[in-house]
Amino acid sequence: MVSGAGGGGNDVQWCFSQVKGAIDDDVAEADIISTVEFNHSGELLATGDKGGRVVIFQQETENKSQPQCRSEYNVYSTFQSHEPEFDYLKSLEIEEKINKIRWLPQKNAAQFLLSTNDKTIKLWKISERDKRPEGYNLKEEDGRYRDATTITTLRVPVFRPMDLMVEASPRRVFANAHTYHINSISVNSDNETYLSADDLRINLWHLEITDRSFNIVDIKPANMEELTEVITAAEFHPHQCNTFVYSSSKGTIRLCDMRASALCDKHSKLFEEPEDPSNRSFFSEIISSISDVKFSHNGRYMMTRDYLSVKIWDLNMENRPVETYQVHEYLRSKLCSLYENDCIFDKFECCWNGNDSVVMTGSYNNFFRMLDRTQRRDVTLEASRESCKPRQVLKPRRVCAGGKRKKDEISVDSLDFNKKILHTAWHPQENIIAVATTNNLYIFQEKVN
């Protein structure tokens, strides 16, 4: 199989490249990674954590003599994006955890990204400085102002080289527009607007305007006792600036067209798969809740992730998905204990590779799944400290659901549900993936022969 730019699949051999973060067993809550996102070129990789920090890694320029070192990512910038706050009117603590990061397409030398916690979205500018001005007339080099009466000659200030400094500065703060917790932000293809979604509403913002936003979806019932579903994720179409989708806790996806009306409460399309009566159980509604929705890069398909499966939908066909992949079907018999330990409410994300031929999503025991759409094959890989030798090839993992266990299989009863991969990202042009386990970021790449 061809594994061209951002290709991938089972013919690609994945090998270990790097791991970021401390190795300690006792993990500080603030260090738990809560979002991972490549920028549009893949040169920068941003992570957000529960402590409100954003860490940006930069890909090293390729060394001709060592092509295998092409994907080394090193820390480029670290900054505190959000601080804990307190809402005095509601007596609620607003935690600093970064829920989502979204990069804006690059227009000049600086990079811009949006980061959000539960209530406030911020636009950050990340810029480099490698020169500093010297030779001011009105002040000394240390910044103190000179007595104007002592100045007898005029100097022309000059720029002198200095060590590279990366600065992160907040350019806009978009606050006070969400009553409930923000779960999604998505930049529009017009690069001027973006949406933010919480449990019951979706707002449309202009990147230059912070004091107002337009409410484009509102599913809050007049009587909150009649509430039957909440919004779980939302995303703009990658090419059509008028189209967006949002998913719900009932397993439905609604596609809306902003040309139809200012308030998109009436959807243009409703994507829903009828439930198989033979699989009906107490947990059916919980496991059908969609935790993530992502358009393919070409805009023809969208992918949704629920608790047990990944589904690929053709935007032209609403009644059922064109592809369904079981992520960890062996957990269906364990739903009762997963409900008791609250794991059943975990929100797994999913991502496409660069040419939409392979999708990736996480599982438990630090497993993650690669689902090859062209060959209809899948593989389970593991992000672990045991396979951390440089360029060590990842061995496929298999889980035994019951019966006699083979030598290289792992019993479903020995899976560690505290180790889970919720956040993954795929380089937009190359076979490089970033996988977040609790407080570590693993980077894997295609094995170069």
Mean pLDDT check: name the lowest of 145-149, 245-249, 432-436.
Answer: 145-149
Q: What is the CATH number of the domain that holds 359?
A: 2.130.10.10
User: Model confidence at 140, in pLDDT bands (50, 70, 90)?
Assistant: confident
- The verdict on residue 143 lying in a domain is no
Name the phi and psi angles at 73, rounded to 5. -110, 125
- The verdict on residue 9 lying in a domain is no
Task: Dig out the tokens for 282 from the structure.
Answer: 């107490």
- What pLDDT does 133 receive? 86
Look up the domain containing 291 and give its range.
14-128+166-446
- Look up the pTM and report it: 0.90
**158-164: long-range contacts at Cβ-Cβ below 8 A with a sequence spacing of 24 or more?**
158/133, 158/134, 159/131, 159/132, 159/133, 159/134, 160/131, 160/132, 160/133, 160/134, 161/130, 161/131, 162/129, 162/130, 162/131, 162/132, 163/130, 164/128, 164/129, 164/130
pLDDT tens for residues 209-254? 999 999 999 999 999 999 999 999 999 999 999 999 999 999 999 9
- The verdict on residue 400 lying in a domain is yes
> What total of structural domains would you count in the chain?
1
User: Model confidence at 388, in pLDDT bands (50, 70, 90)?
Assistant: confident
- The verdict on residue 144 lying in a domain is no
pLDDT tens for residues 14-35? 998 999 988 777 788 999 999 9
> 206 near 216, Cβ under 8 Å?
no
- The verdict on residue 136 lying in a domain is no
Mean pLDDT check: name the lowest of 236-245, 272-281, 402-411.
Answer: 402-411
User: Model confidence at 4, in pLDDT bands (50, 70, 90)?
Assistant: very low
Of 344, 333, 339, 377, give the one whose Cα is nearest residue 358: 377
Mean pLDDT value of segment 78-107: 92
- Return d(Cα 237, Cα 296) in angstroms, integer: 9
- The verdict on residue 404 lying in a domain is yes
pLDDT tens for residues 296-318? 999 999 999 999 999 999 999 99
User: Model confidence at 67, in pLDDT bands (50, 70, 90)?
Assistant: low
- What pLDDT does 7 receive? 53
Q: Kindly tell me if the per-residue pLDDT of 411 is higher than 60.
A: yes
pLDDT tens for residues 347-380? 999 999 999 999 999 999 999 999 999 988 899 9
User: Model confidence at 101, in pLDDT bands (50, 70, 90)?
Assistant: very high
- The verdict on residue 138 lying in a domain is no
> 185 near 236, Cβ under 8 Å?
no
- The verdict on residue 6 lying in a domain is no
- Return d(Cα 338, Cα 355) in angstroms, integer: 35
